[in-house]
Amino acid sequence: MYHLQEAERDPKSYCIQEILSGYSNVTLFSLTAIFSIFVLVALIKRVIFVKRINRIPGLPCGITIIGNAPTFLVPPEEILNRLTGYVAAMQSSGPVLRSWAGPFPFFILFTAESFEVILSSRKLIDKSRDYNYLQPWLNTGLLTSTGRKWLKRRKMLTPTFHFKILEDFVQVFNEQSQNLIQQIHDAIKLKNEIDVYPFITRCTLDIICDTAMGCNVDAQAKSDSEYVKAVYTMSEIVAARQSRPWIQPNILFQMSEYSSKQRKVLRVLHSFTDEVIRRRKMERIEQTTNKITAQYQEDDSFVAKKKRLALLDLLLDASKNGEVLSDLDIREEVDTFMFEGHDTTTAAINWSLLLIGSYPQVQERLNEELDRVFGGSDRPATMADLSELKYLECCIKEALRLYPSVPIIGRKLNEDTVIHGYKLPANTTVGLMTYILHRDPKHFPDPELYQPERFFETNSRGRHPYAYVPFSAGPRNCIGQKFALMEEKVILSSMFRNFHIKALDKREELILLIELILRPRDGIRLLLTPKQKD
């Protein structure tokens, strides 16, 4: 009776007592000793590990649990300045800098030699955990996958960017560039000073929707499209999670306001892509039997270009030719291209407009090249034209040197790695600071000056191959860099053939944000004057 009363009063304590009563004092002492030894060994290993890490120069170690996190808990617009200031202050200590992200070590790299060690390796290809926040949207597509899956997908997708396929995409670049020019002409009728950033964003979104999915979302005319707004919102959620440590653990994120917002936009994003895949599959079946129904021809949102293959078609062909790709596999790659294919290109075009618009002598030389190639005509650009726009290409490359779309590349080390004589342990993270690398005066004298001539062939000769990596480098470089450069050339050549452009903001006054990409907080303000046509 007594035991029953005890159990009713405090069932947890009673259960523990019952369990322990089955062991002798000697056994309990032994178990306690073994547990204590395990804890002691773990603590000793941790102390040795921390001392080993702290031999590498870096920030003061901070508090054990949170590390150097307080140093970087600043408003988003201050993060880049904090990082670059930290590196500048500590640079004399060595070419590898250590910090602690909570209990986890994080190494900052900024030399061409250290970039080469990481980016050239076929083993160190895993992305850092910051990329995990993209997985609810992109699952494990080409950007976020690792190991054998990444290697298999990379081999499968590489032919997508064959010269002939890229040539077919030039038509899309031209069509959407003309839409952009018309949108800007309409906007400057009242005032010829505009923030060009949202115009470029909508243009690149139209291009990637057409080339990736073969469908028309008409973002430039319908900026209130549910899908367009969902793309923007999801990007904001991922950026917020990357910059706010308190919502990074899944359990805490699920309790935040962002969680319900993410579920809503994911339903929009995934259902749109799923519907595009479903309709395209049906359309392809009907095309083979010459029974294309009027229903799909009349639905502008899902009309695919019959003569031009989109990425989606190539994925469907791969699935038909022996690759086992489910609809989910196809969706994650299409969504990955949607994400990667508009934000980074948008940033590159905007930075190019700002810089060329800030240097009249550069714009004058570019206009001379455009006149020589196009002869003052409004005709669409061809592949042959793009190959002739060599100075424009140098202008873009120099813009990406100063403002790389991805200013930090995160990699996880899956094996011990020696960099500049320091042994960085496996299972730690490195941040490759492209933004700082591109300002190394050893490779780029007077690094803050905008000088497209740096990328003339004669001036590039002998430069370290990893001194300039706006598209990353090595086996995991950007698969779409040729696509991006062609798109940027078409859009920028259209802009400068139609407008005299003057930047209204000084570079040093711009507030930069490191979110998913490097972008100006307040956009890019330009004074646009239409050119007189002969």
Alpha-carbon span 422 to 280, nearest angstrom: 53
Binding site: which residues? 478
Partners of residue 392 on adjacent β-strands: none
Summarize pLDDT for 492-520 with one digit per residue, the tens: 999 999 999 999 999 999 999 887 789 99
Over residues 406-413, the mean pLDDT reads 93
CATH architecture under which domain 129-530 falls:
Orthogonal Bundle (1.10)
Q: Between the CA of residue 145 and those of 114, 126, 248, 283, what are the distances in Å?
A: 23, 8, 19, 30
* Higher per-residue pLDDT: 424 or 163: 424
| pLDDT for residue 338 | 87
pLDDT above 90 covers a percentage of the chain that reads 53
Contact 424, 57 (CB under 8 A): no
3-state secondary structure 188-247: CCCCCEEECHHHHHHHHHHHHHHHHHCCCCCCCCCCCCHHHHHHHHHHHHHHHHHHCHHH
**What's the confidence (pLDDT) of residue 42?**
77
356 pLDDT higher than 50: yes
What percent of the chain stands above pLDDT 70?
A: 88
Predicted confidence at residue 303, as pLDDT, reads 45
Q: How far, rounded to the nearest angstrom, does the alpha carbon of residue 143 sit from its chain's CA centroid?
A: 9
Average pLDDT over every residue of 369-378: 93
- Quick one: which H or E segment has residue 32? helix 25-54
Residue 12 predicted with pLDDT over 60: no
Mean pLDDT of the chain: 86
Q: Does the pLDDT of residue 292 top 70, yes or no?
A: no
pLDDT at 295 over 60: no
Alpha-carbon gap, residue 64 to 314, rounded angstroms: 50
Domain-wise residue ranges, the chain: 129-530
117-136 burial: b if 16+ Cβ within 10 Å, else e: bbbebeebbbbbebbebbeb
Residue 398 has pLDDT above 90, yes or no: yes
Annotated binding site for heme: 478
pLDDT surpasses 70 at 307: no
320 to each of 188, 206, 316, 333, how far by Cα in Å?
49, 28, 6, 16
Would you say residue 94 has pLDDT above 90?
no
415 has pLDDT over 80: yes
pLDDT value of residue 302: 47
pLDDT band for position 324 (cuts 50, 70, 90) = confident
Local confidence band at 394 (pLDDT 50, 70, 90 cut-offs): very high
Give the 3-state secondary structure of residue 520: strand
pLDDT in tens, 188-229: 998 889 999 999 999 999 999 999 888 888 889 887 778 888
Reply yes or no on whether the pLDDT at 68 is more than 80.
no
pLDDT in tens, 98-141: 888 777 888 999 999 999 999 999 999 999 888 899 999 999 99
- Nearest alpha-carbon partner for 356 in 507, 172, 181, 502: 502
pLDDT on residue 14: 53
Residues belonging to the chain:
534
What is the β-pairing status of strands 104-109 and 428-433?
parallel
What pLDDT score was predicted for residue 471? 96
Q: Which one of 180-194, 205-219, 321-335 scores highest in mean pLDDT?
A: 180-194
Is pTM beyond 0.85? Reply is yes
Residue-level pLDDT at 103: 78
Per-residue confidence (pLDDT) for residue 161, from 0 to 100: 83
- The pLDDT assigned to 5 comes to 53
Residue 358, token pair as written in the block: 């800030």
Q: What would the mean pLDDT of 364-368 be, rounded to a whole number?
A: 98
Q: Which residues 6+ apart lie within 8 Å of 141 measured at CB?
A: 153, 332, 333, 335, 336
Q: Is residue 288 scored above 80 in pLDDT?
A: no
pLDDT at position 164 is 81
User: What pLDDT does residue 304 have?
Assistant: 45
